[in-house]
Amino acid sequence: MGWKIRAENIATQIEGVLTLDNRISVKAKKETLNNHEVAADIMDELFWSPYVDSDRIGVAVKNGQAALICPAASRFATHAAIQNAFEGGAKNGVNETHTG
């Protein structure tokens, strides 16, 4: 799902693009990870992201839904963190709670 969102973001940043109809379909992975494994994978994605400060972000996962606890950040950094959460395995959405 993260790759779908990333493709959409890249396409919308191209000069001259006014609207976008993203028809990319996503197949679910057959392997099912537990909440702890998904949280660890999301933290790994955040760690390698050049756009977010992973040391300042907390992650909790319940039933495939990720919650990101992070300080106030730019809209771009917040969106990058959400992408990272999907790339790490969040399946049922991502909630963000901003502090500071």
CA dihedral over 51, 81, 90, 20, signed as positive or negative = negative
Q: Total domain count for the chain?
A: 1
Query: By percentage, how much of the chain surpasses pLDDT 90?
Result: 8
Structural domain boundaries enclosing 17: 2-99
Amino acid 6: pLDDT: 82
Tens of pLDDT, residue by residue over 37-83, are 889 999 999 998 888 888 888 898 988 888 888 776 677 888 888 88
Q: What is the pTM of this model?
A: 0.64
And the tokens for 16? 């001259």
pLDDT at 67: 87
pLDDT at res. 44 = 92
HSE-CB for 39 with a 13 A CA cutoff: 13
How far is residue 28's CA from residue 43's CA, in Å, rounded to a whole number?
A: 20
